Amino acid sequence: MSGLSAAHHLVAGGLSVTVLEAAEQVGGRMVTDVVDGFRLDRGAHLLNTSYPELRRTPGLRGLPLAPLAPGALVRVGGRGHRVGDARGPRGARGPSRAPIASTLDRARLGATLNRLATTPTSRLAARPETTAARALTARGFAPRTVEGFVRPLLAALLCDPELQTSSRCADLVLRGFARGRTCLPATGAAAVPQRLAAALAPGTIRLGTRVEQVAVNCVRTADGAELPCRAVLVATGARAAAELLPGLRVPSFHDVTVLHHAAPVAPVREPVLVLDADRLGPVSHSLPVSEIDPGRAPSGRALITSVVLGPPPDGTGIGAGGGDKSVRAHLAELYETSTDGWELLGVHYDPEAVPAMPAPHDLRRPARLLDGLYVCGAHRTTSTPQGALVSARRAAHSILRDLRDRPAGRPPSEEAA
């Protein structure tokens, strides 16, 4: 997604761009498989309506989004509680605020979220830095508020179960949660890169073209071809970028497993994020996807997507027994319904799903490595779709500035930036 987004910014700046994609489809990790009429994302891709880059990026303006209901449904103390939306769900459960027991605790949480929502991102990025877990304790939240809502929410949004993420990054994520609505790309995560690709001129993207070597004025592909250019932007995952750019830092990663189940009916009649605060099973959070985006499931069927923050439970897989049985048992508790008739449609494990952002974390790693050589991706800013798009825009603008300032005909300097 970063590479396609950067291409749009460069084209808008008047440059001719070629995108070299190693895979046979665009999108990187934002892939959607179609299985028996169900649209299954391989990753845990949550967007937010407040992401400014969705409006800034040419090609993404007007992207159809499927919003979730405000707040979340949290399993805590062996019961499901609706948190963060006074309207309550459209179902059998009545509204409950048990995880945030007192009026004072609710007021304190609301005031904190409101402050985050109205604080400029530059100020959040300049705050003293610690881990997200320590920051929650320092803010004076009641332990029940932290454990019953904020911790499982941040774990889901950051894909970090231990909340060792930088408190600055956590504040930025909570700011988005407070300002907008968590959402899914309508029809599947693949819709985002596909929309970006479709808006570029025909011939811009070369699929099935693996790059083996880059220089400030040339790219060499796996088939031995050399493509001259005025600038090279490496827009891949962190490890692949480091293979092309020796010396580039490779972060640690959060591994994620995504499981998709089909059911005769949705376990909850609301487009809501379901969180596990009790931590008594493998699932971190789950989504009744067909309630959020009905087009992802065939008529008369329900799609439930769940996320394990780590490797698949032993035995999980199509046709496997023990692992999926433990997942479905946990989902039965989270949704307070039988899952005996649920069918496992797909399991996708990504050991490098999300680059870790431990404190101290540099939110503005430079895009320009050399005059003519640049890098972008979520691993350069924050490990979110917003971060990936921000990094792409910064890299594109850096290229445009350098080419504007470079006299015509002068090759790029190899002086380090």
pLDDT of residue 89: 38
pLDDT of residue 90: 38
pLDDT of residue 102: 77
Least confident of 3-7, 97-101, 281-285, 386-390: 97-101
Tell me which residue range forms the domain holding 367. 1-25+189-251+362-405
Q: Does the residue 376 lie in any domain? A: yes
Dist. CA 30–CA 8, nearest whole Å: 18
Q: Does the residue 150 lie in any domain? A: no
Q: Does the residue 184 lie in any domain? A: no
Mean pLDDT of the chain: 91
- Measured in residues, the chain has a length of 417
Averaged pLDDT, 135-148: 89
User: How many angstroms separate the Cα of 244 from the Cα of each of 68, 332, 368?
Assistant: 39, 46, 15
Residue 211 parent element (H or E): strand 211-215
Instruction: Please provide the DSSP assignment of 294-356 as one string.
Output: GGGS-TT-EEEEEEESSSPPTT-STT--HHHHHHHHHHHHHHTS--TT-EEEEEEEEEEEEE-
Dist. CA 14–CA 4, nearest whole Å: 16
Both tokens of residue 53? 């880059």
Q: Does the residue 272 lie in any domain? A: no
The enclosing domain of 399 has a CATH number of 3.50.50.60
Can you tell me which residue has the tokens 């001259």?
228
Q: Does the residue 274 lie in any domain? A: no
Confidence of residue 322 (pLDDT cuts 50, 70, 90): low
Q: Does the residue 230 lie in any domain? A: yes
pLDDT of residue 358: 97
Burial string for 105-139 (b: 16+ CB within 10 Å, else e) reads: bbebbeebbeebeeeeeeebbeeeebbbbebbeee
Least confident of 108-117, 130-139, 311-320, 380-389: 311-320
381 has pLDDT over 80: yes
β-bridge mates for residue 180, sequence order? none
Confidence of residue 405 (pLDDT cuts 50, 70, 90): confident
Q: Where are the beta strands (DSSP E) in 43-202?
A: 47-48, 65-67, 72-76, 79-83, 182-185
Q: Does the residue 159 lie in any domain? A: no
323 has pLDDT over 80: no
98 has pLDDT over 80: no
Residue 62 makes CB contacts below 8 A (sequence gap 6+) with none
411/297: higher pLDDT: 297
| Count of the separate structural domains present in the chain | 1
Express as a percent the part of the chain with pLDDT over 90: 83
Dist. CA 400–CA 237, nearest whole Å: 23
Confidence of residue 142 (pLDDT cuts 50, 70, 90): confident
Q: Does the residue 247 lie in any domain? A: yes
Can you tell me which residue has the tokens 């994302």?
41
Dist. CA 67–CA 54, nearest whole Å: 14
Confidence of residue 96 (pLDDT cuts 50, 70, 90): very low
Least confident of 147-156, 293-302, 314-323, 370-379: 314-323
pLDDT of residue 105: 84
Dihedral (CA of 294, 296, 299, 305) sign: negative
Say if residues 48 and 181 touch (Cβ distance below 8 Å): yes
